[in-house]
Structure 1
């Protein structure tokens, strides 16, 4: 079925058992040296059938640091522990060698080194332009780092030469403003990379695989696909590389590197084809591939030899094994939200919205769930993602599980959220959870409302309350930044909640609208997009310092804003509050000012914090031996804490 995907391939002297690669991605599980959490994370995916994993970028020099380091010999023993743990699985290991240039500070917290003094996209100060001596120092650092990687037993290394990091800065005719032998013409701008590759080749054995991750800029004026292809061909012609890992995008539009659910599978393929033209060493490509079917189709295009599946195997480590065994329907889907993975790294530690075991595999992976010898009668009230995850884990433990849901369908608020533009994939996790609990034998009762008496009549040993939340009515809206303010709403004003907007069949929004975002998550983005797609002029008003700040780390705000400004008349007003709403208009004012502004608004959509539906939990306290409240019923948030809390509640059954 997966003839191409499951076939082996050689990278240099290293045979990779299949074509699925987990390319380097930051986790922040380890600081400086590889630790137990990082080993457990990669081991789980090795057991799951990945052919090759390229370990997240490790700093080669003190002038730029992020998480891992191969700057000294102290890195060797921890790397060797990873190698020894992975070896029985057959998955091969390469290490990415990294220097961020102007993107990251030095180990001492000082200024980073870069090609020129031009600051990076998110810089707070200009970097230090490297001297020729410092370039030579870094060339030597790359070689020494590769020697340490080989000594630890890894089979290869990858030099990160894309995504806007150090080598990309040297390649760019815009960012590289040097006047010496490392600046100016094409040959000078690629000189540093070639010197580093030659040094690594000379320092390592002939059987050690060496490649590079390389890609163009989001802005082709900064670095084009044509020049990127020329760099790859030059390194190939000199015999310096055994593979090319093709990427696209940089910090000038960083979501290009890891697009969310708004982009289709294979969205990077046009860039991959241009960059990989005439490249004959194995080519790895990326582009939201998350199933073996997607990977098989990509290989059929001829644009790639190996397919990168990172987020898909974050969501389900066993993706390859399950698919190979004909159990593809059991693969937990990546929904492309970027909240736990990309957003988690930028917030301090990677996680996953749909898989609470990420980063805690040693204690929370499904492999650690033990069948009980004392089966309990578990009643889960609420069929959203929190309740279904609780039911799934309890079933895996061998408990007798009944799940009751007041609505006619499982899925909770995701049944509404998935109807927003560019958000359909969020429903995939609800579908998977539903399939799993039925497969595992849950007693599911739909259209069944339960109060405390109904629950007690079931004589459960354990009750997990997952009754979710609902938006507050418009007249109950309390602005977080100004809770004492009373918003005056005229009787003939059209004021909706986000749920009203999604379920409104009339769709008579008029020509203008205001979306008031008190939360800062994706909900308001979806509301804006629904209106913009219908030709409505939208003003986004928020108490926050910026547009949808809770989503900024995911990159999805960038792609949303790009769509909004391209599609229609869209305005952002930050650090503001709503004063009043009348027919066809609304008044707002600055949080720290008194002067009001009247804005045309045929419709006002209020996105506020939802109200937890926790009455059942309150009524059952002290009346049930084991009682848990999870997800929005505890506090209205999003799917990541909901699934995690459902999982942990089931784990805690005694």
Structure 2
């Protein structure tokens, strides 16, 4: 598609934005529960350099009754804003600040009950909030206005009022969470009073020439806030000249869908969003929906659905999407795979944001690829293993100017991703393998597939550096972690396979019933289950954990998978369980809270435990005198079986540090 509209500027309240690509507010945990940090500044500067037109800073809490990683509660934030904008302005990106109160969704700093519109339980945790009195309402309104003033004084280009996703303002708007009988409850006119008063106070504080907008979304709770009510609210506020732009998202915590994983298609939010944007053509409208390329954004703009398209995780994965595409090299964009592992899930667990496929994300000050410089004396680097960790190691070594030979025993590159992408709804996980393969060929890495090299072969090349990325293989030993003394009785005689063998053998006769036993808690158990259900089998999932796949994000990866499993009518679950024995066509399993065991039909059992690292070449090279950390390193699953994030990060960081 010939790109045109994405590159056109847009003016909001006299402020020109250089193109139609924006990044929405999203938590990073780079601000350390308060002030703006150098790490947060580096993160946004990288996207400014990459060509983004507008970034909306992550939600800043305006009042002590709600906690978030960025704080705008006193004038100390102004200096941080000024430092941030001084770093960003030379690169042409505009910056808005989203201001926020979480209501009953987020905790209070002193651990007292959270504030809410009414004493309605939080749909995610069941916590009952303190219903706000008039004095508390007035206090929060004043806090929003003061927060907006600090944004303007700090040089931020505009503010966005967060009125979506089930947080405090939406709790007032939504009849499901607003059961008040005073002037802030009942009719929509009353329910929107809190938002109107916030907008009025903000506008009075920042003036009529400063961009002010808001973010909205429908409720996914039955009978909740819908598109028609949102349109009524938006038109009323627009008529009063309170909003200069409208940012449209989707859902709340009744059925969480405002962040989606790889199982959702591009534009999955648009069915709802376009009903709102169509009713407000007189203001610039933003939409979001897992967009990954400028072609997708161009189509949204051509269809008239929106005036700006948000690309969030896409720019976490690659900050240079606009720059690379505009230069005529969209194939060089590292596309987000939608795993939500190191961005969304990490921040929810309280860790700083990173990215499974972009090791520099969140660490741009030290790991930005702009900082990779050719070495003065290039050497020869041999990488053994062509999975994601090995390919990333080869890419980094080549960027530093070395001669690089990558050897892979198999006929193709990609490692375990070649198999993982065969599972239903996991196809985009393979995109990073495709990108890495393209890049190492483009950079001139000498790739040798179907080549098994032992330590003698490596040493014969007289390399300056060696990276071992030989991965790991299934143990096939039938041992459960909590019962390591012996394999499951019957493991050797029953029909058992690993997840790797299952996905590698599409013509395998599977039978009609299956057990998936998961002792690891990552994606393999879900992938095997989905694969078997897609083949028509009845599947029982057995795991020692209290939840399914605890190492994955529950709301965007596990819960949607469970909904799909339930729709088949052929799925059963046993948590906190062990396998007692395997027999001919059966599996005997027992939960920790039941005395008697269950006998489950199982024509095939997929047994998932930790893989065995393949370290033979590494160990043999050490015996030959190669020294770890000097001219030898080991990365990814060969070092210790974990997941894609660690394979790529170690391939990048350890190689970068060594060569």
TM-score scaled by length of structure 1:
0.97
Higher mean displacement: 481-490 or 367-376: 481-490
Provide the residue aligned with 2:454 in structure 1: 451
Distance 2:305 2:488 in 1: 57
Distance apart, 1:431 and its partner CA: 0.7
Provide the residue aligned with 1:632 in structure 2: 637
Higher mean displacement: 54-63 or 182-191: 182-191
SS of structure 2 residue aligned to 1:628: strand
Distance 1:489 1:182 in 2: 66
Correspondent of 2:307 among 295, 305, 308: 305
> Is residue 486–residue 579 contact of structure 1 (8 Å, CA) maintained in 2?
no
Higher mean displacement: 553-562 or 373-382: 553-562
> Is residue 521–residue 550 contact of structure 1 (8 Å, CA) maintained in 2?
yes
> Is residue 229–residue 277 contact of structure 1 (8 Å, CA) maintained in 2?
no
SS of structure 2 residue aligned to 1:350: coil
Correspondent of 2:166 among 164, 167, 170: 164
Q: Rate the CA distance shift 1:634–1:492 in 2: closer, same or farther, 3 A.
A: closer
Provide the residue aligned with 1:77 in structure 2: 79
The superposition leaves residues 101-132 of structure 1 with CA deviations (integer Å, 9 ceiling, x where unpaired) of 01111222322111111221233631111001
Higher mean displacement: 580-589 or 382-391: 580-589
> Is residue 21–residue 310 contact of structure 2 (8 Å, CA) maintained in 1?
yes
Distance 1:408 1:649 in 2: 26
Provide the residue aligned with 2:536 in structure 1: 535
Distance 1:25 1:627 in 2: 39
Distance 2:277 2:573 in 1: 40
Q: Is residue 216 from structure 1 mapped to residue 218 from structure 2 by the alignment? A: yes
Q: Rate the CA distance shift 1:619–1:156 in 2: closer, same or farther, 3 A.
A: same
Distance 2:207 2:221 in 1: 38
Q: Rate the CA distance shift 1:490–1:542 in 2: closer, same or farther, 3 A.
A: closer
Distance apart, 1:261 and its partner CA: 1.0
Distance 2:506 2:343 in 1: 36
> Is residue 519–residue 608 contact of structure 2 (8 Å, CA) maintained in 1?
yes
Correspondent of 1:44 among 43, 46, 68: 46
What does 1:24-63 align with in structure 2 at a 5 Å threshold? 24-30=25-31, 31-63=33-65
Q: Is residue 419 from structure 1 mapped to residue 422 from structure 2 by the alignment? A: yes
Q: Is residue 604 from structure 1 mapped to residue 605 from structure 2 by the alignment? A: yes
Distance apart, 1:568 and its partner CA: 2.7
Distance 2:14 2:330 in 1: 32
Provide the residue aligned with 1:146 in structure 2: 148
Provide the residue aligned with 1:99 in structure 2: 101
Distance apart, 1:370 and its partner CA: 1.3
Q: Over the residues paired in the alignment, what is the CA RMSD in angstroms? A: 1.4
Provide the residue aligned with 1:572 in structure 2: 573
The superposition leaves residues 131-160 of structure 1 with CA deviations (integer Å, 9 ceiling, x where unpaired) of 011111111111110000000011100010
The superposition leaves residues 56-94 of structure 1 with CA deviations (integer Å, 9 ceiling, x where unpaired) of 000000110111111100111011100111111111010
SS of structure 2 residue aligned to 1:621: helix
Distance 1:124 1:262 in 2: 28
The superposition leaves residues 295-337 of structure 1 with CA deviations (integer Å, 9 ceiling, x where unpaired) of 1011111111100001111001111000000011111111111
> Is residue 339–residue 554 contact of structure 1 (8 Å, CA) maintained in 2?
no
Distance apart, 1:566 and its partner CA: 1.4
Distance apart, 1:491 and its partner CA: 6.3
Provide the residue aligned with 1:174 in structure 2: 176
Q: Is residue 115 from structure 1 mapped to residue 117 from structure 2 by the alignment? A: yes
Distance apart, 1:357 and its partner CA: 0.6
Distance apart, 1:481 and its partner CA: 2.5
> Is residue 512–residue 538 contact of structure 1 (8 Å, CA) maintained in 2?
yes
Distance apart, 1:594 and its partner CA: 4.5
Distance 1:389 1:143 in 2: 47
Higher mean displacement: 235-244 or 461-470: 235-244
Structure 1 unpaired stretches of 5+: none
Q: Is residue 584 from structure 1 mapped to residue 589 from structure 2 by the alignment? A: no
SS of structure 2 residue aligned to 1:95: strand
> Is residue 212–residue 243 contact of structure 2 (8 Å, CA) maintained in 1?
yes
What does 1:13-28 align with in structure 2 at a 5 Å threshold? 13-28=14-29
> Is residue 14–residue 207 contact of structure 1 (8 Å, CA) maintained in 2?
no
Distance 1:481 1:179 in 2: 55
Distance 2:382 2:442 in 1: 18
Provide the residue aligned with 2:619 in structure 1: 618
The superposition leaves residues 29-66 of structure 1 with CA deviations (integer Å, 9 ceiling, x where unpaired) of 01211110000000000000000000000000011011
Higher mean displacement: 509-518 or 97-106: 509-518
Distance 2:147 2:470 in 1: 53
Distance apart, 1:609 and its partner CA: 1.2
Distance 2:57 2:250 in 1: 19
Distance 1:224 1:393 in 2: 49
Provide the residue aligned with 1:646 in structure 2: 651
Provide the residue aligned with 1:468 in structure 2: 471
Distance 2:209 2:508 in 1: 64
Distance apart, 1:607 and its partner CA: 1.6
Distance 2:390 2:131 in 1: 55
Question: How many residue pairs get matched?
Answer: 651
Provide the residue aligned with 2:332 in structure 1: 330
Provide the residue aligned with 2:267 in structure 1: 266
Higher mean displacement: 65-74 or 582-591: 582-591
SS of structure 1 residue aligned to 2:5: coil
Provide the residue aligned with 1:231 in structure 2: 233
Higher mean displacement: 318-327 or 526-535: 526-535
> Is residue 490–residue 583 contact of structure 1 (8 Å, CA) maintained in 2?
no
Provide the residue aligned with 2:363 in structure 1: 360
Distance 1:490 1:450 in 2: 33
TM-score scaled by length of structure 2:
0.97
